[in-house]
Amino acid sequence: MTHGRSPILLARYLALAWCGLVVYGSLHPFSGWRDSGASPFAFLEGGWPRYWTGFDLGANVAVYLPLGFFLTLALRGLPGRFSAAVLATLLAAGVSLGLESLQSWLPSRVPSSLDLACNAAGGLLGAAWAQLVGPRIFARLVALEHKLIAPVPHAELGLTLLGLWLLVQLSPETLLFGTGDLRQTFGLAGAVPFAAESFMLIEASVTALNAIAAGLIARTLTTRLGLAYLTVPVFLFAGLVVRTLGAALLIGPDDAFAWLTPGAQSGLLFAGLFLAVAIALPPTARLLLAGLALMAGTVLVNLAPANPYSLAALAAWRQGHFLNFNGLTRLVSTLWPFLTLPFLLLTTRRP
């Protein structure tokens, strides 16, 4: 890994990942496509939309602000002081224009010139923010990279995957830290019949295996062993904080700690004890254990019986503004282990 280029490379990974999330959230559920016969750009001629809320306007700005920010940082190598910011704003607006046009063929979506304007404004604000603080951010990223990030191949991709793992924790329909559930995608049913004992054991195993995999990946990206004993617990604790805040905001304050079941507690305890030893293992052993834990956790999450709390939470948060966000987090949760396994294979190569 070349230390001088990694901040730009990390920004490119983040820009690509965020753009993918925006595309998915804008076109979800990808069904019911039809041609109305009208031009896909007819919405540009429309006036102020009939139905709108302040939440919708703010959300459209907020979703595109990170895209403009990441794109500006990713394009910092271009000549000219403002070239990166201008091009990032145009790209963000272009993405929005393309997605609003595609929504013309989706009966569940309504394209709007107001949405386009808010999205472009979000991209502009993000680009302006990156233009103002970009140099300082890059200087700090370089300093932090030398201090914290191990010189392993594709470390920037690993950091992006860990960021997506934190995003997954916002989904209330998964077991704690669970990823890779393919059943909803392919219409499959769980293979293990529901029983309180089997559910608690599987829940604990899913939590422990995924915590071990994520913790060992975080360890791989950390420079020193002593530092890893700080960063790994902090990273996993951040996942719990995201889970708690997500449940409180998206479902209700009373459900903020509903994930803290006996099974989840047992899984966290086992993962903590295991990681206390595994963190100190040689790199090859750590990567092997991370891969095995990831695969085993993915298998178990597809065998787990339905979680009654998850079903109730899903019914609550599928309503209203969070329908598309639900589909987005589910997609990331489903794909995460299958994106992470190739990264583990790439990381076994020596720099």
| Residues 50 and 114 occupy one common structural domain | yes
The most confident of the ranges 41-50, 124-133, 151-160, 328-337 is 124-133
> For position 318, what pLDDT does the model report?
46
| Residues 170 and 245 occupy one common structural domain | yes
Domain range enclosing 72: 6-148
Q: Is residue 1 part of a domain?
A: no
Where does the pLDDT of residue 188 fall: very low under 50, low under 70, confident under 90, or very high at 90 and above? low
Where does the pLDDT of residue 275 fall: very low under 50, low under 70, confident under 90, or very high at 90 and above? very high
Task: Give the length of the chain.
Answer: 351
Q: Kindly write down the DSSP assignment for every residue of 181-250, as one continuous string.
A: --HHHHT---SSPP-HHHHHHHHHHHHHHHHHHHHHHHHHTBS-HHHHHHHHHHHHHHHHHHHHHHHHHH
CB 117 within 8 A of CB 74: no
* Residues 290-333 pLDDT 10s: 999 999 999 998 887 766 555 555 555 444 444 455 666 777 88
| Residues 116 and 252 occupy one common structural domain | no
| Residues 132 and 169 occupy one common structural domain | no
On the question of pLDDT at 203 being above 80, the answer is yes
Average pLDDT over residues 209-217: 96
On the question of pLDDT at 51 being above 70, the answer is no
Measured CA to CA in angstroms, residue 248 lies from 56, 63, 234, 259, 327 at distances of 20, 20, 21, 11, 19
| Residues 138 and 186 occupy one common structural domain | no
Domain's final residue, options 129, 148, 167: 148
pTM given for the model = 0.70
| Residues 35 and 64 occupy one common structural domain | yes
* Measured distance CA(351)–CA(349) in Å, rounded: 6
> For position 327, what pLDDT does the model report?
64
Q: How many domains does the chain have?
A: 2
* Measured distance CA(97)–CA(232) in Å, rounded: 41
Domain's final residue, options 132, 148, 164: 148
CA-based radius of gyration for the chain:
21
3-state secondary structure of 106: coil
| Residues 302 and 212 occupy one common structural domain | yes
Domain's final residue, options 148, 171, 198: 148
> For position 49, what pLDDT does the model report?
62
| Residues 189 and 333 occupy one common structural domain | yes
| Residues 164 and 128 occupy one common structural domain | no
> For position 1, what pLDDT does the model report?
41
Q: Is residue 30 part of a domain?
A: yes
| Residues 199 and 249 occupy one common structural domain | yes
| Residues 127 and 168 occupy one common structural domain | no
Q: Residues of the chain with pLDDT > 90: what percent?
A: 31
